């Protein structure tokens, strides 16, 4: 072998593997803690961006089963002639969401305008699709910390539950955090990755003082699933649900903010 030949990047990777060397992980940006990285990295795996054709509406969603079922807001997909969803990864070096290249077509399984909830099914879901853990929203109370991911790659934020309402005829929770214009349909999750609510309303920056989002609780979403045969099959048995459902986080401690 000619030692004068240049060593290509892929060759370096092979040589490193042969010698048992591990590639160094990128450093996190200044001010970002490892705990923050773990929380948002986990959530990025089940977070989706929703693009609607025919209406130009954009929003968010989250995966609820590895078979490609997802949840978003009914007002996001209303009137759409075609729906595409995009998956993301969280870049460690920049702490920003980066979209994966491939987009997936999704169909509407159920849309309920009465509670502003819609269920989607990715037509050909990719292998290794990660689903969110559906938390028990009955455990939510004022002062509990929740987090969100935004479809804008600069928006990752956290805040506290500070109120509950049934102004629209069903249980909703108010969380004090900043959200972007495409936040509707996005998950509100705890530091274990359990989703406790879905964002339905996020005022513009000019209208927020203090900033907040309004979300439908997971109990409402679960109850609606139970009434639809195709979706009811996705719910665990009562015994399993009690054992596996993520419980609400403790109030103590400040949720990592970015």
The pTM score is 0.82
Domain hosting 39: range is: 34-122
Residue 18 maps to a domain: no
Residue 14 maps to a domain: no
Average pLDDT along the chain? 83
| Same domain assignment for residues 142 and 235 | yes
Compute the distance between CA of residue 154 and CA of residue 166 in angstroms, rounded to an integer.
31
Predicted confidence (pLDDT) at residue 230 exceeds the cutoff of 60: yes
| Same domain assignment for residues 109 and 186 | no
Predicted confidence (pLDDT) at residue 45 exceeds the cutoff of 60: yes
| Same domain assignment for residues 192 and 113 | no
More confident residue, 12 or 31: 31
Predicted confidence (pLDDT) at residue 232 exceeds the cutoff of 70: yes
Residue 231 maps to a domain: yes
Question: Worst-scoring range by mean pLDDT, 31-35, 43-47, 117-121?
Answer: 31-35
| Same domain assignment for residues 103 and 153 | no
Q: For position 54, which CATH number holds?
A: 2.40.10.10
Predicted confidence (pLDDT) per residue in 156-165, tens digit: 788 999 999 9
Compute the distance between CA of residue 210 and CA of residue 188 in angstroms, rounded to an integer.
18
Residue 15 maps to a domain: no
**Local confidence band at 15 (pLDDT 50, 70, 90 cut-offs):** low
Residue 257 maps to a domain: no
Predicted confidence (pLDDT) at residue 213 exceeds the cutoff of 70: yes
User: Structurally, how many domains does the chain consist of?
Assistant: 2
| Same domain assignment for residues 172 and 228 | yes
Q: Write down which residue in 70, 102, 122 finishes a domain.
A: 122
Predicted confidence (pLDDT) at residue 130 exceeds the cutoff of 80: yes
Contacts of 249 (CB under 8 A, 6+ apart): 144, 145, 190, 191, 192
């Amino acid at each position: 072998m000619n030692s004068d030949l240049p060593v290509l990047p892929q060759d370096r990777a092979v040589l490193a593997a042969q010698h048992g060397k591990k590639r160094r992980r990128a450093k996190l940006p200044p001010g970002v803690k490892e705990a923050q990285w773990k929380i948002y990295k986990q959530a990025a795996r089940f977070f989706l961006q929703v693009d609607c054709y025919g209406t130009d509406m954009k929003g968010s969603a989250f995966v609820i089963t590895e078979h490609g079922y997802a949840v978003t807001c009914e007002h996001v997909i209303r009137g759409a002639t075609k729906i595409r969803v995009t998956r993301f990864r969280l870049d460690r070096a920049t702490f920003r969401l980066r979209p994966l290249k491939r987009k997936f077509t999704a169909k509407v399984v159920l849309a309920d305008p009465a509670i502003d909830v819609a269920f989607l099914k990715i037509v050909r879901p990719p292998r290794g699709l990660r689903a969110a853990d559906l938390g028990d929203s009955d455990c939510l109370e004022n002062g509990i910390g929740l987090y969100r991911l935004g479809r804008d790659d600069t928006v990752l934020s956290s805040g506290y539950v500070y109120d509950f309402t049934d102004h629209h005829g069903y249980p909703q929770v108010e969380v004090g955090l900043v959200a972007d214009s495409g936040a509707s349909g996005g998950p509100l999750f705890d530091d274990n990755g359990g989703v406790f609510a879905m964002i339905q309303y996020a005022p513009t920056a000019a209208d927020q003082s203090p900033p907040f989002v309004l979300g439908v609780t997971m109990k409402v979403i679960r109850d609606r699933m139970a009434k639809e045969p195709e979706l009811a099959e996705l719910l665990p048995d009562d015994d399993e649900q009690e054992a596996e459902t993520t419980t609400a986080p403790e109030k103590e401690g400040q949720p990592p903010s970015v």
